[in-house]
Structure 1
Amino acid sequence: MPIRREYARSLFADLTQNAPVPLDPDELLHMPGLRQLGHVFFGDIEVRCYKHKARWMYVERDIRDAAGVFAEMEVNLDDVVDVQLPPFRDILERDPEEWHRPNWRRQVASWMLDRARNQLLEQGRHYDEWGSWQDIGANGLPGELTWEEFVASSSSHRHLQNIAGTRPLQLLTWSGETWLLPRAYADLLDRWERREEEVVALARLCSSCGDQGPYWGDWRTPTTSGYVTRCPPCSGAAFQPYTGHLRGVQYEMLRRRATRADEYLCRLCKASQASAWDHCHAHGYVRGPLCGSCNVREGKATPYSFLQLEGGVLHLLECRGCLEQRTLPRRFHLDVVRAHLEQTERHGRCRQTYARELEHTHGVHRFQLECSNWHATGKWTKDVTAAEVAALVRAFVDAALAAQEGRPSPGTATGAG
């Protein structure tokens, strides 16, 4: 029978409380990789996620079966193997698809290197002073990182603790020469790599024509029963494009009419079946049908990233209220200002400036600006009043509309990045 995520998490935690492998039952709540996989992994065991009455749920039997495997698992802590962590590879050298493939050894090494790098950034040290921070020290960690600092940092970030629903740092030990894990646990993670590859390979296939999609799940579409995989041509053949015929209609009226969004293609990505009518919360007007991923991106992604999205600004202006007032939803305002400051403010001849809001008092937003070269004198502040924010947003909107019409922009803020 279907059970809610909260109950599934509680049940799994109770049944595995004495398991020899450290597990993270919260994976059942957060469901990492749901869009790409349709499952939650604990080791090499996948637990299927279902959608029932618009809620993600599990089958109780699946939870009990997965928990039973771990409760009965035997792990000899004295039978260990060298995990052979791979050397550092710069992100620019990585093949994007290869980097997304499961590789638990690379993931652990990446945690260590990222923490060593962040430690130097937090200390305010210039890049020229970092030295050989990638070199592995006598404690097996890069740079000046200690095990205590590494564990403390990892404990405050879920994504730095979990691999396949397990917590490797609780079993990882340093022999003085190499990193060790219990053999049974290392074998479990190896099996997870192979099994996740198999699950992803199946999830990449278009359910209509069988073509293979991108590794990271761009063809995955949320439906009322879960995710399905459809290539853009098959989606285009199955669903009609939205032509803006509901522009100016209030969302509440649409709800009362029960007008379906899933008959349309997503207005933003134009590749997936829509699942919801997006609307402006400030003015109440419908903006258009969006797929689940684009709808989440509009509501929860960083405003800066959404403004960078092709068609993102014009989608927001599908709201008649925003269009007539030449504005955007309030959550986007400061990112328009930040982008403007990064374009116009400079420290000497430095080519790039970074801006972030420090405080907001008495209607004035104070930003801290810093040059990309981290010069000691390359930090300053800039105050922006509410009236200036409104003017910059209006100029940004005017520029977007002018670009749509192919005419010169009248505004001073020409983009979000």
Structure 2
Amino acid sequence: MSERVMPGRADGLISLGAADALWVDLTAGSAVPTASGALTCFPARARAGYVLLGGRVVATVRADSGRWSVVEAEIRRAAAELNAIRMDRRDLVRIGPFRGASRPECDERTPLRWRRRIAGERGEPFGPERTARREAGRPYHLAGIDWRQILVERTSTGTQRSWWLPRAVVRLLDTAEHAEKQWVQAARTRPASTAVTEPPSHPRQAPDADGRQTTSPQGPTASLRPYGKELEGRLYSQLSREPGTSRRVAGWACAVCRTAPATVLDHCHEHGYVRAPLCQSCNTQERPDHLYGNDIRVANHYTRLFHTDTHDWLRHWHRCPGCRARTTLPLPHLAAWTAHTACRSLRPTHPAPRGRKPCGLLRVSWTGSQNAPRSCLLTVTVDRCPSGEHRVLARVPYREAAERFRVWLAETAPAVAAAAGPDRLDGLPAQFRPVIADTSGEDQALF
């Protein structure tokens, strides 16, 4: 039986059991499902001086009797921040598994390691997460979030599995992991007498008009610096081998959403230049659902890339000197834009219970490469047409697609278009660099 919540105490402290009940009660209507036992069950770390609730670090206090407590106001703040988050269950981010990806290393400074915990739960029958869950008698949570209710598992070609979470939850868990790392590092430097009594820094997030999360100066990204042009013109193949690059990337906020800590260094695989540091959510957002060498399925998330957040992504892609000088996009992005935007009016529709529905699934493939534009041809097709009547929608030569994009860019993002062109960069290589193999994810070599 859970403990009864007794607010209004003189010291503002409540027991962990009461805080568990309060957390569940306050977040009952949240878009993000929460779990019971957020402060008392694995992997809560109350005895380490803190617990994670959403994207917030809440300090725990140990009384003279040895009993652990938390400040009730902190639980209410964490619940209010979580309730303010809006989640689109259709906007999913793949979190694994990725072929060829190395096993995440254990790092005691970031005990959450939520991706590693999910991988252990889904793929390792006798992993530490399943062992802990069996010992506790209930599934474990992640920062007080019941992730199993929103995890989507997909199976393709009969055997390949993939795991997906809503983008809002991925960003929230990344924020929690970063905040925990900051808390642990700060606890090592502060006096032992105040290590578990001082309130930690925490995010104060609220959704803006388009559903993004904005973080106040007190949040975990407050210590992160915004990305300028520090790495502009650098080659990824050289920079990735320099010692300390990962630590340097972790010091920036994501260059696209600017609300989450950067975790990866995004680069153009067509020209080899670094674009900017991104968070894991934004880095996966630009990638397609399926990429098979020269074939892309154009999914709904391209609406955000080419409509909702167009300026942010165009500016980001043109951080590559090669793309900026050519006033174009890498071939896979240009192909996706051609199918999603330039050929949108060609996509047929079929009768549906509530009006008409777009036909089948949109796919675009190409022959040749951007290095031989005369022979490169983009083919836009429809898969899984209900009536079986629609196949090829358009065949667009590469040069025509690039010219259409230049016109559209000038109309959609004039500032980005004004900064592009061959006269804007004197040091552009005479020969385009070959596509760089990417080992960070499955079937993503061209992105």
TM superposition score category, shorter chain reference = 0.3 to 0.5
- Report the structure, 1 or 2, having the larger helix content: 1
TM-score normalized by the length of structure 1: 0.43
Higher RCO (CA 8 Å, separation ≥ 6 residues)? 2
